[in-house]
A and B are shown apart, each in its own frame.
Chain A
């Protein structure tokens, strides 16, 4: 199904999404990769607050290219999500139930998605020029010393995504392949 959704990603909204849905997403999302996740989890471990409110938030695993003059952001496609697997269950447990990336997730991430009604969206890896078009605003929030890995708030409009793992644990990487192979028999 094709769905147009507006953030924040509440539990109720999350429950309406199913693996394989094409989603056009509008609203504020947060950028973070390996180094940023490490810092956020260290902050949480110390009992301190994150630089943004994680409740119902969506994190985009991205490290964009520098913006050219006149651009909001440079090319900005997803990075491989598996590198954030060590941190994702912690982030989901504090409310950041939406994730945008590409590639497979570990079983404990899927368990956290099920437990907290999360959603894992896939953006098209390698389509950084196309995805940048949906990003209308960029506001650095923290960790600016990390360069391309800094924590930023992005306002996106109609960002094209596919639901890869839904809150019931259905996984398009398995189901999509199986459905295709079954259709060839």
Chain B
């Protein structure tokens, strides 16, 4: 049994919150630049140039890429041979978020009640997703999630007879309906299978996966490619002003499901798709 102090996790989460909000991941930067090179519609090319200039300024000057520094999604993969000591894990993660959002001059965007509202003032609580895995390490991923794009996400409980075509139509329909609202070019996270709740979680996890990776199953890897091409024929373009580049990536995650169902969730993210990981 390896002992890890939750105090160590506070420091790690603090740093991940700040870094994720200031430095766009390499895979996302690469995807945007590749799309810029292929974009031949003037207004779209101009917007992509501004988007590139923006993440370069953020990186150079250590400022947030976007003012919506999001809710802090914190994914924890905890090795089953780890014993967490020195305090409460949830409180440690929240303390890390609290410190990171304060020290990093990040916006506090969390309200304490969904209906009655009221800003909590420190961007807590974080959205914490815990998974127990083999091993004696803790893998922490922080993915700040903006809500302009979150609000354009969707979930549908399909009949199995809807088949692959049903999923394809749903993806295109969701991205079309979102139009300019989620700050395109977007990243589309798709979760298929499981249950009502698990499909949504798969979609969120899909957004944490590098854009230069593919689903390990060639069937879904091909679907990722096909859907990216089809989305980029919609004409929405960067910021919805028209153009080729509506999405910079489609990531699909799947799991087994019930004989009676085929849940599908689509989690939309903007071009500021942030995630940063550290292993303790």
A130 touches B57 (CB 8 A): yes
Partner of A77, one of B53, B66, B237: B66
Q: With A122-B239, A147-B108 given, is the CB distance from A129 to B181 under 8 Å?
A: no
User: Known: A22-B46, A74-B107, A126-B183. Contact between A79 and B66, CB under 8 A?
Assistant: no
> Are the C-beta atoms of B183 and A102 separated by less than 8 Å?
yes
Which positions 114-139 of chain B face chain A at CB distance < 8 Å? 119, 121
Q: How distant is the Cα of A80 from the Cα of B150 in the complex, in angstroms?
A: 11
Q: Is the CB of B69 within 8 A of A65?
A: yes
Docked pose: A66 CA to B105 CA in angstroms: 5
Cα–Cα, bound, A184→B214 (Å)? 29
- Do B181 and A80 have beta carbons less than 8 Å apart? yes
- Contacting residues of chain B (42-67) with chain A, CB-CB under 8 angstroms: 43-44, 46-47, 50-51, 53-55, 57-58, 61, 63-67
- A21 → B minimal CB distance (Å): 10
A89 touches B (CB below 8 Å) = no
Contact: A67 with B105, CB < 8 Å? yes
Interface locus among B82-90, B202-210, B240-248, B260-268: B240-248
Distance of A142 from chain B, by nearest CB (Å):
17
Q: Is A27 an interface residue (CB 8 A)?
A: no
Closest-CB distance, A60 to chain B (whole angstroms): 11
**Residues in chain B near residue A76, CB distance under 8 A:** 67
Cross-chain contact A162 with B43 (CB below 8 angstroms) = yes
Q: Are B67 and A75 in contact (CB under 8 A)?
A: yes
- Determine which of A75, A77, A103, A130 lies in contact with B180 in the assembled complex, contact meaning CB atoms within 8 Å: A103
B interface, how many residues as a size bin?
Answer: 35 or more
Q: Encode B181-222 as 1/0 by CB contact (under 8 A) with A.
A: 101000000000000000000000000000000000000000
Whether A177 contacts B237 by the Cβ 8 Å rule is: yes
- Which of the four size classes fits the interface of chain A? 35 or more
B50 A127 Cβ-Cβ under 8 A? yes
Cβ of B108: which chain A residues have Cβ within 8 Å of it?
A: 147-148
Contact A68 B105 (CB under 8 A): yes
> Residue on B with the closest CB to A19?
B241
Is A20 close to B, CB under 8 A? yes
Indicate which residue in B50, B148, B272 contacts A160 across the interface (CB closer than 8 Å). B50
Contact between chains at B242 and A179 (CB < 8 Å): yes
Residues of B within 8 A of A176 (CB): 43, 237, 240-243
Q: Are B57 and A178 in contact (CB under 8 A)?
A: no
In the bound complex, do residue A180 and residue B235 qualify as a contact, i.e. CB atoms below 8 Å apart?
yes
Give which listed residue, A68, A82, A130, A184, contacts B181 with CB less than 8 A: A82
**A177 x B236 contact (CB < 8 A):** yes
Asked if A127 contacts B51 (CB within 8 A), the reply is yes
The 8 Å CB contact of A102, one of B58, B64, B235, B239, is B239
Q: How far is the CA of A51 from the CA of B66 in the complex (A)?
A: 28
Interface pairs (18), CB distance under 8 Å:
A65-B64, A65-B69, A74-B64, A102-B183, A103-B180, A122-B180, A124-B54, A125-B239, A126-B65, A130-B53, A130-B54, A130-B57, A147-B108, A147-B121, A175-B242, A176-B43, A176-B237, A176-B243
Q: Measuring CB to CB, which residues of chain B are less than 8 angstroms from any residue of chain A?
A: 41, 43-44, 46-47, 50-51, 53-55, 57-58, 61, 63-69, 105-109, 119, 121, 146, 148, 151, 179-181, 183, 234-237, 239-244, 270-272
Extra inter-chain contacts (8) besides given A65-B107, A103-B179, CB under 8 Å:
A65-B105, A125-B148, A125-B270, A128-B54, A148-B109, A173-B240, A180-B242, A184-B235
The 9 closest A-B pairs by CB, nearest first: A176-B242, A125-B183, A103-B181, A180-B242, A127-B54, A130-B54, A128-B67, A181-B235, A129-B58
